Amino acid sequence: MIVRDVRLEGAATDLRVADGVFTEIGPDLVATPGEEIVEGHGRLVLPPFIESHIHLDSVLTAGDPEPNRSGTLFEGIERWAQRKEKLTVADVKERVNRVVRQQASFGVQFVRTHVDVTDPSLTALRALLELRDELSDVMTIQIVAFPQEGICSFPGGKDLMREAVGLGVDALGAIPHFEFTREYAVDSLNFVAELAAESGLLIDVHCDEIDDEASRGLETLATRAYELGLGGRVTASHTTAMHSYNNAYFTRLLRLLTMSGINFVSNPVVNTHLQGRTDTYPKRRGVTRVKELTEAGINVSFGQDDICDPWNPLGTGNLRDVVFTGLYVTQMLGHDQIADSHRFVTTNAARTLNLGEAYGIEVGRPANFVVLDAGSWYDALNWNAVVVGSYRAGRLITRTEPVRREVLF
């Protein structure tokens, strides 16, 4: 197959795909007899979008059994604890199947999902493990064992984490700011770092998702990553307390973060909604320092976090909305910052997920790509261009008609 006349990194080109991989990339490719040709009409191609932080187990549960009336993170955890009692494998699979298809229609092909393992039956985890296999042809799903109610503060928390490793998770989580004490927070991070080093798994911690400037799980996580040589296998998600750190502390911390080589995920839509809830005025935005981390050469990606669940009553899974909001909230609307901002949900996210050579539009790599109804990312972002086609190993897996508006005056 040849995909003809598309824009790749600012230049017009064609793509040749055979046996599910890119075999040739360049202008004016000549079709062989009988070779399928797809016209690109000068549209933008990108590698698929990557959802680097979501909670698929809780999607589409908002209001069930009760809505989160305060809009806080902590009421969200209480509402979820109620909903968790009603979970069945069939319930989780039905909701996630719906959302995954919706994500796919927005050009997402890779998802890192956190799954709550503070449930002695591990129901949601079992459902997600089944879905990871069932959907692997169309969606790559990475599963993080996420201890929503703590590792040291939840009865049997460490054993549940070990059980999740045995069942086959891809990564280990933690939630230091929710542990009962600072000592438990440190102990939970040490436990996870050692378990990851032993098992070879990745780490993705819900780290300091609170407006408390004294919440400093991040320095422990980064130190363990540095000392154990885990580097890019480790991700710190949320880190909203960093928004409130004093600049002297942040400057010292930045040296450690750079040395450690860890990744960051910011969830600008949901954290703008959840944080600052104990403030009167001024109210903090509660989004981590994306601009400063990026300028220091540290890898940051953006995630959606929640779709219609106890922490976010809205959300579609369209990562364009996350990038759009994220650039505003982090004040990253310089021309060059906009132009390559898809990297927060493409290449940067690929690094976070440790995708390596499984990702990217290059000869020899799997022919996974999306075609947008725009000639540039700048236009695609601004005009919310649809993904007209999402290709997985060269196969069209979703298709959307371009929006055509008529103004009748």
* Positions marked active-site: 209
Query: What are 152's two structure tokens?
Result: 């040291």
| Nearer of residues 177 and 342 to Fe ion, judged by Cβ | 177
State in angstroms the smallest separation of the CB of 361 from Fe ion.
Answer: 29
* Least distance CB 107 / Fe ion (angstroms): 22
Backbone angles phi, psi at 42, to 5 degrees: 75, 15
Question: Which residue is associated with the tokens 């989580």?
Answer: 173
| Rounded Cα–Cα distance for residues 183 and 170 (Å) | 27
DSSP one-letter string for 355-384:
-GGGSSSSTTSB--EEEESSSSHHHHHHHT
- Residue 305: CB minimum distance to Fe ion, A: 5
Edge-to-edge strands, sheet with 37-46: 21-26, 11-18, 2-8, 37-46, 369-372, 387-392, 395-399
Q: What residue spans of 179-231 are helical by DSSP H?
A: 182-199, 217-227
Binding mask 221-250 for Fe ion (x = CB under 5 A): ------------------------------
**What is the C-alpha to C-alpha distance for residues 366 and 138, in angstroms, rounded to an integer?**
12
Residue closer to Fe ion, measured from CB, 208 or 305: 305
3-state secondary structure at position 252: helix
CB of 114 vs Fe ion, minimal distance in Å: 6
DSSP state of 312: B
Binding mask 258-297 for Fe ion (x = CB under 5 A): ----------------------------------------
Tokens for 198, please give them. 């032993």
Q: In the structure encoding, which two tokens stand for residue 52, read together? A: 């680097």
* Contact partners, residue 78, CB within 8 Å, separation at least 6: none
Rounded to whole angstroms, the Cα distance separating 313 from 270 reads 10
C-beta closer to Fe ion: residue 211 or 305:
305
> Please, which residue, 116 or 305, has the CB nearer to Fe ion?
305
C-beta closer to Fe ion: residue 149 or 305:
305
CB 370 within 8 A of CB 361: no
Of 145 and 388, the one with the shorter C-beta distance to Fe ion is: 145
Does residue 250 contact residue 211 with C-beta atoms inside 8 Å? no
| Window 104 to 163, contacts with Fe ion (CB under 5 A) | none
Least CB distance from residue 44 to Fe ion, whole Å?
30
Q: Which is nearer to Fe ion, 179 or 305 (CB)?
A: 305
CB of 177 to Fe ion, least distance (A): 12
Chain residue whose CB lies nearest Fe ion = 305
* Residue type present at position 374: A
Q: Smallest gap, in angstroms, from Cβ of residue 253 to Fe ion?
A: 21
Site for Fe ion in 296-315 (CB under 5 A): 305
Total site size for Fe ion, rule CB under 5 A:
1
Please name the residue that has the structure tokens 């909230």.
329
Q: Are 277 and 311 in contact (CB under 8 A)?
A: no
Let me know: does 53 contact 265? Beta carbons within 8 Å: yes
Cβ–Cβ under 8 Å, residues 233 and 172? no
Enumerate binding residues for Fe ion (CB under 5 A).
305
